[in-house]
Chains A and B, each alone.
Chain A
Amino acid sequence: MKALIGALAVLTLLTSGIANSAEPSGQAVYEKWCLPCHRAGQVGSVQLQQRYKGAIPAVLTERTDLQPALISVLVRKGGQVMPIFRKTEISDVELEALATYLTKPTK
């Protein structure tokens, strides 16, 4: 019985922990949803390299010129090959955190 109460207590702690961490991490959102295509050598980076011919970095996290508006448009309307992301995948709050992360001068 004692063990059970212990387990329940841990469970409650965990859930309240999740509830309290309302502030999503932009980096975590990026790594979950964007990195697989935007790491060096993958399709996003390869195509952006072709587009900008090295004038700006091909990897998004190395860019200093990104604007939140461009990120929102790409995420909610998609690019060419880049698909659209829905609110059940990336919520508005997460999108904001993602945009903040990608537009910070150092990441």
Chain B
Amino acid sequence: MILPPGVSQRRFTSALREFEQIVGKEWVFSSDEDLGTYRDAYSPYWDEKIDRIPPVALCPANVEQVRAVLKVANLFKVPLWPVSTGKNLGYGGSAPAHPGTGVLDLKRMNRILEVDDKNHYALVEPGVSYFDLYRHIRDNKLKVWIDSPDPGWGSPMGNTLDRGVGRTPMQDHWSNVCGLEVVLPNGDLVRTGMGAIPNSKSWQHFKYGFGPYVDGIFSQSSYGVVTKMGVWLLPEPEAYLVGNVTVPKRDDVIPLVDMLSYLMNTGVVQGQTYIQNMLNGFAPDLLALRAKPGGASEAELQAYADTHGGYWSLALPIYGTKELVAAKWQVAQRKAAEIPGARIEVQRSYDLPMPEEDALKLDSPCEVSVPSLNIFNTVAMPMKGNGHMFAAPVIPMRGSAVIESLDVMRKAMEDIGCRDYMAVPASTFFARSLTILVIYPTYKDAERNRKSREALKHMVKVCGEHGWGDYRAHASFMSEAAEAYSFNNHALRRLHETLKDALDPNGIISPGKAGIRPRNER
């Protein structure tokens, strides 16, 4: 076990006794067996010396216990990594960035404090999972949708604090936060926005309150422990249609993405979709063509596209009332028809609400607000390995950027001889940009993990050099991801560190998160 830096075994044991006083003996975990449940189940350092296994896990039951725990953590200089539901698999799971950091497991704080289906919001504690919130809404027949990420095992709190994404019109989770309650590293308790007004009547109604808007500094951050979060929800739509546009030539991706940008920025198309290169599939004849010595020429690829239905394909998700969906689809078709050779069709169309058993048959039931773990069938099945980890560079929403990034990323992997990865086509995670999720397998085997780690780091570095920074990073590679954000000799890092030193001088919350190290580790 790796102890916190500079803390002796004796001091550490004394700290554990203090923690037990606060949360109760049974909620302080320090045996190897229990700590093993907090390791990263998909760790890229599995069983290596520096595998991230925390020296302690603490599970407070309420805000007062969180405050008391942080006071003791300061006293004994024991750093803690808060998790809400701790399912950040692919980005490091529940394990801290540094092996000497303990875990503050907030799963027991699991109350749904409010769901309003007239103003469409919820107020939740950290331990409320997407499954929990969905069941609450379903069982109480409330007319609102949650926006679950593909796996429903995480939480609105944890996922949103990592600025995660779902698939419905509310998919950019951080943009739908309205009001936080935060325990600062020194144990002080703050409410942001209108929550700063005692007996506020509009905490989940108006984001900004008065004065500097600070909510953002608590996302992907080590500046506090968030204990309540307001999230805006979607009024249950009446209909959902997915259109599809296929275009014939390589350069058609440029007008195709311009069209997508227009349709998204006008609210005609909403939710997650991606720019599918139809020549990046797994069909045997296609793989054979690509595997030719020297690779396939552009003419050969175009010839393949000509005989196999096109070069690029794009699904267009449309949500709303029945009239709106019909009207939006008219607009989308008119815009798509401006691209010569475009093939336009309805891929699928539903009246809502959809029975749960039908939703669960979709690849991604979360498209219609139903949380599931179906994604493991699509992601895990074709991947080798025991788990996986993600890199997630962001490019502008431009067709030329799609072409360039695909070429650069493919070459980056060829250069190091890596074939063991999967790139999800450029996806609309966030407005006006596209994100390319690159998935690397992890193993229970050190040598293969080393290769995966090197490949991921190389990808992050090459993308960074092209100006494509990651939107989020795995806990083992946060410094690498932060490296790209270096304008003016890392002015942003200096600002982050200034905030860190002011709010957390002892460095007790999540050292290494987002590549930000506390003073004592710099």
Contact = CB atoms under 8 A, between A and B. Distances in A.
Interface of A: 32, 36-37, 41-43, 46, 76-78, 80-81, 83-89
Interface in B97-133: 105, 107-108, 127, 131
Contacts of B373: 36-37, 42-43
Contact of A84 (B36, B107, B131): B36
Residue of A41, A80, A83 with highest tally of chain B CB at under 10 A = A83
Nearest to A88: B107
A77 B105 contact: no
Interface stretch (B321-329, B379-387, B404-412): B379-387
B285 interface: no
> Chain B interface: which size bin?
20 to 34
Given A37-B376, A42-B373, A78-B41, 18 more contacts: A36-B152, A36-B374, A42-B377, A43-B377, A46-B377, A76-B36, A80-B387, A81-B376, A81-B387, A83-B93, A84-B39, A84-B41, A86-B57, A86-B86, A87-B34, A88-B105, A88-B107, A88-B108
Nearest to A90: B37
B89 A83 contact: yes
Given A46-B381, A80-B386, A85 B37 contact: yes
13 contacts: A36-B374, A42-B374, A43-B373, A43-B376, A76-B33, A76-B36, A83-B87, A83-B89, A83-B93, A85-B37, A86-B86, A87-B37, A88-B59
Nearest to A44: B376
A76 B153 CA distance: 17
A84 B381 contact: no
Interface in B42-100: 42, 57, 59, 86-87, 89, 93-94
B372 A36 contact: yes
Nearest to B107: A88
A74 to B, nearest CB: 12
Contacts of B372: 36
B38 interface: yes
A80 B383 CA distance: 12
A91 B4 CA distance: 28
Contacts of A43: 373, 376-377, 380-381
B29 interface: yes
Nearest to A76: B37
Contact of A86 (B89, B107, B376, B380): B107
Contacts of A88: 59, 105, 107-108, 127
Contacts of B89: 83
B136 to A, nearest CB: 13
B158 to A, nearest CB: 13
Contacts of A89: 107
- Which residue of A37, A77, A85 has the most chain B CB atoms within 10 A of its CB atom? A37
Contacts of A76: 33, 36-37
B38 A86 contact: yes
A84 B386 contact: no
Interface in B378-424: 380-381, 386-387
A36 B377 CA distance: 11
Contacts of B39: 84
B507 to A, nearest CB: 25
Contacts of B94: 86
A12 B427 CA distance: 50
Interface string B286-310: 0000000000000000000000000
Contacts of A83: 41-42, 87, 89, 93, 153
Contacts of A87: 29, 34, 37
A77 B89 CA distance: 15
